[in-house]
Chain A
């Protein structure tokens, strides 16, 4: 990476803040300028599974014979079961990948409701990924296989997040709480009652023979076998809630579950026997209780109405918990709390009436109050708590939480942001380089002895500065994925490093490091305006991380240089300037092609390879070569 200084080209730089240079439409390009190479990223990106395009092998259902059809869309969670057979590992086999489809639709072959697709992944020379052809135990042969829910445990709803345990066990979750059969009728043809234990594999110990309304058989965690493409059981004893994600701890007994709701629950389950999750004790988090957890009895009526029961008993109320992961380096659990623009009366009436306001929300509310108003919150913590309960906390950025499993204490690990002052007398000087809002996917990567958090945004909207003014005339949000070096003490959003932005309008999700070389991501519900295949939900791999860490560190270090210069970020195809500037980009015919104002990071992804000149407001210029 070249880091030569520019030959400083005069012109006083002490110009007024509102200054703006109309960059000439055309310039002479033959002056000499320092050259910066934009290297091709050492990371290799490869699309591996496209919804609506790739064919899945199906089981016999609704009287249709086993066969094939196109896969469902709306990819969300990615689960991974590692290959353990040394002979297979030697040939490059990595393991089984399973993808959630966060949608509900009637489908004659895949089955109604939500869905999942499983496949086996192999990595060959040059970090090229291949799908391994398989023949499953039920006789299906092919590359991609759908998971049969209808004929095994009953339909699911929107398969969103889940648990991908280190030992390869997988549970899928459905966030959208269903409250009536009418509500699901559009996506589930059979709304007759469901009797537990009448399907194969048979039901659940203790609850067999019990009858549920069809909608009540949704919103349970479901265990899946990635190798056979089969659903194993609905985890009735973990309760019915709008779960989005969860983790299985190292003891192979303790499970934590995160609910996407306002209010949302934090749930714990402890199995009696390691590895057997059909019996044990369920708890809901109550941060102000002495032992932090309130027990929930293993009674189907209670479990069906878990939300009502838990909040009535004063459970702590979260604002939309999403994904979580265990940091194996310190044993703590990190959970995304995506936030809610308009909590309204959710904490005050209905289920919220008896729930407990989370302490970290009080802290976050006071923090926002101070920044936005310029003065600290005038009342007591109890008054701040009342404000949160009354819907005063517009939690439009969200945060990452840290749960210490040894104490049950939850604190904010870092807040989304930045917030800006509300005063009309202070316009924001520039759109921040890093603006972190509405975190959703979260996982950890361990690369060359270091621990990184992988996070993905899922923007709830474009207001509150979540998208810069330039993009407001379009209809799209652009979500990004970030890495955080876990060695950084007391990190903030500004320590985040952008690794990938996904198709406009889409949600990037599912990020998981399957080993130190490869991460998998999903792109979900992209905007119709994207070009194929990026107009589909898809799963892609980014490989070569083992070769990138030096560049990552270098990138972090280079940020604080004080002279005008630019650094390429090989990871994200962007150029970082030494300071916030107005810049114009010219092609080598001298034609102006881009003008970016008040930027420090310049995205060059839509420049076709070739040479360009970048000029700043002071007339200083560098030449960049995009490879």
Chain B
């Protein structure tokens, strides 16, 4: 048995290694856990003190100051544990600790149950109102303390969770913290970020010796970037003046990448190894916040596994441009989603079936549209696959039905062969789902982050204009665009986990160019889904991607705005409420943004740097033939309108 001794040697090596790293790992994750525990206790104390304070004193101006001080300490205590708490229990934090200060629906209730907002963001708003309502503040403080005190501590954390929590916090802090997203009134963004980066730095210090063991330079780089980041944050700069683009390129992205390298080199498992049968929207293996695949497109769609995606894309593309899907054989998906116009049609509202009138809403771009939890302006479809059927049966669009479409496609041997080739195990290969999968796959393929801006952020190009650079900083700061159009897709898909899509009430007028402004009467989300019939969803619409916005005018769900300048002006004035329309549940801040002309220009320059349709606009050379319906063979690729 020659092999035997070799095995024994190998075996002992593994054991020694295991023992070696074992003793070190006790140091790191236990240290992180102990710090978390003691910081959690600190938070409890702060919350308790804040609660008893607001409960016991009168809101004189001196007292107000000291209460705000206490609040700041409470925030600091929360921000110190945010990265672990949010990562291990995001829903609890959202529901009870730091969710948006807006009412929402209890999704688990039978029927419609509205949950009132609570937590730090509500307190933030209350504390910075002119007139204090001390009872409200006191009630909220009590609720917050109770939620912290009640908390069921989760299962212990491990190295994997620490690294994932650190990296996810980089995304959260950059997109939700530094943009002012979670401080609706106090704008205490810089101080929050300092606490967070200090804590992240302290956490990685627990891994110092382990990382140095595998790559001394790596640890040096990480420490250097943290120091640089803290220096930038500490430079006493204002919320408006902070150079977010520079911070992203010099600090956030390098750390995001280096921490992943460290996790891999230390042999710490990935989330994909630790879970069974589940998908994540965030790609944990991505190395840059603007990586082409930072969002996992396969999470958002539900295509069957083991299908050839290139064949599926191809078939989907044929169907997309084939007017055979409509009752008149004259109109295709491309009728309203023209690749040359960024997959829109340049109309305010698209031409309806039979060229009679208009459909109800503006045609949105399809590029990067896959990265969404819900589809349509009113969020009525839960999946991209479901979207197709709405168009097929709509009298104003394809004006037909699935059974009819299937029966027509089945009359083409060429189509049947293409479907059979992909869906080999289906007894009737052309059906509602196989059609939907193909179109979905094609729409999914219409994605990519290769705009000038992406390349600049990734360090692949230096060609970004200074105006666009200023524009990004305004977008993510003073103009607050990035608090709804979240990076990197610049749509309503919420970081850092990207598994929720938001809609907003803006108060868009029916015609912004008319003398009397009235709200567009399209009710949006409230009328789309029975279980979303809550008043705050009236006039609520999906936040679309701003990628390719420069080539997809006109704008808004009703296509009412002709230019980006006009859209900027609308936002700058405070949306519908700002231009004098009564919008009860407007989610856009109603105060003016106070952007000057140059600033608005800069933001538009930045949006223009998000144009990228490269490799996405090709049209099929021909469509499949019908043997017995020769007249159908003359149909136009992409339809006649």
Contact = CB atoms under 8 A, between A and B. Distances in A.
A420 B264 CA distance: 33
Nearest to B27: A18
7 nearest CB pairs, A to B? A528-B383, A595-B269, A475-B499, A460-B108, A18-B30, A535-B302, A424-B40
Interface in A419-463: 419-431, 460-463
Interface residues of A, number: 90
Contacts of A52: 432-433
B158 interface: yes
Nearest to A187: B530
B626 interface: no
B33 interface: yes
A605 B304 contact: no
Majority secondary structure, A binding face: loop
B156 A429 contact: yes
B88 A469 contact: yes
A19 to B, nearest CB: 6
Nearest to A459: B108
Contact of B269 (A23, A372, A394, A528): A23
Residue of A24, A473, A475, A619 most packed against chain B (CB within 10 A): A473
A106 B168 CA distance: 42
A24 B156 CA distance: 21
A619 B269 contact: no
Interface stretch (A175-183, A190-198, A201-209): A175-183
A531 interface: yes
A18 B15 contact: no
B48 interface: no
A415 to B, nearest CB: 15
A462 B91 contact: yes
Given A424-B44, A595-B269, A605-B276, A473 B164 contact: yes
Contacts of B40: 424
A25 B214 CA distance: 14
Given A429-B156, A474-B499, A592 B302 contact: no
Contacts of A425: 37, 41
B630 interface: no
Residue of B91, B281, B303 most packed against chain A (CB within 10 A): B91
Contacts of A605: 276-277
A260 interface: yes
Given A424-B37, A424-B40, A473-B168, A597 B274 contact: yes
B154 A428 contact: yes
A20 B29 contact: yes
Given A22-B25, A428-B152, 16 more contacts: A16-B30, A20-B22, A20-B29, A23-B269, A52-B433, A187-B530, A340-B109, A422-B150, A462-B91, A463-B89, A469-B155, A476-B278, A529-B300, A531-B305, A594-B276, A603-B276
Contact of A70 (B158, B280, B383, B432): B432
A367 interface: no
Given A427-B37, A461-B108, A531-B305, A474 B279 contact: yes
A30 B3 contact: yes
Given A186-B530, A504-B277, A596-B274, A423 B153 contact: yes
Contacts of A419: 152
B111 interface: yes
Interface in B109-158: 109-112, 115, 149-158
A28 B7 contact: yes
Contacts of B90: 472-473
A471 B431 CA distance: 34
B403 interface: yes
A530 interface: yes
Interface string A465-497: 100111111111010000000000000000000
Contacts of A531: 302-305
A60 interface: no
Nearest to A103: B530
B497 interface: yes
Contacts of B268: 22
Contacts of B7: 28, 30-31
Given A472-B91, A473-B87, A592 B153 contact: no
Contact of A606 (B277, B304, B527): B277
A53 interface: yes
Contact of A475 (B149, B160, B274, B281): B281
Interface string B1-15: 001000100110011
Contacts of A470: 271, 274-275
A342 B278 CA distance: 28
B537 to A, nearest CB: 12
A294 to B, nearest CB: 24
A104 interface: yes
Interface string A67-99: 011100000000000000000000000000000
B533 interface: yes
27 contacts: A20-B22, A20-B158, A22-B269, A30-B3, A52-B432, A53-B432, A53-B433, A183-B112, A184-B530, A242-B111, A261-B110, A419-B152, A422-B151, A422-B153, A423-B153, A425-B41, A428-B153, A462-B91, A463-B95, A469-B88, A473-B282, A474-B499, A527-B302, A532-B304, A593-B273, A595-B274, A606-B277
B110 A464 contact: no
A286 interface: no
A420 B500 contact: no
Interface residues of B, number: 90
B142 to A, nearest CB: 13
B438 to A, nearest CB: 12
B111 A177 contact: yes
B278 A471 contact: yes
A598 B155 contact: yes
Given A428-B156, A531-B304, A475 B500 contact: yes
A398 B382 CA distance: 29
Contacts of A475: 281, 373, 497, 499-500
Contacts of A429: 155-156
Contacts of B10: 28
B402 interface: yes
Nearest to A104: B530
Given A175-B110, A475-B497, A598 B156 contact: yes
Interface string B365-394: 000000001000000001111100000000
B30 to A, nearest CB: 4
A253 to B, nearest CB: 29
Contacts of A596: 274
A431 B155 contact: yes
Interface in A577-601: 584, 592-598
Nearest to B281: A475
B60 to A, nearest CB: 32
A101 interface: no
B621 interface: no
A103 B3 CA distance: 65
Nearest to B15: A619
B602 to A, nearest CB: 35
Contacts of A177: 110-111
Nearest to B426: A532
A84 B387 CA distance: 44
B159 interface: yes
B266 interface: yes
A27 interface: yes
A260 B7 CA distance: 62
A504 B278 CA distance: 7
B472 to A, nearest CB: 27
A341 B108 contact: yes
B267 A25 contact: yes
A473 B271 contact: yes
A70 B402 contact: yes
Nearest to B267: A22
B116 to A, nearest CB: 9
Nearest to B296: A529
A230 interface: no
Nearest to A160: B110
Contact of B300 (A528, A584, A603): A528
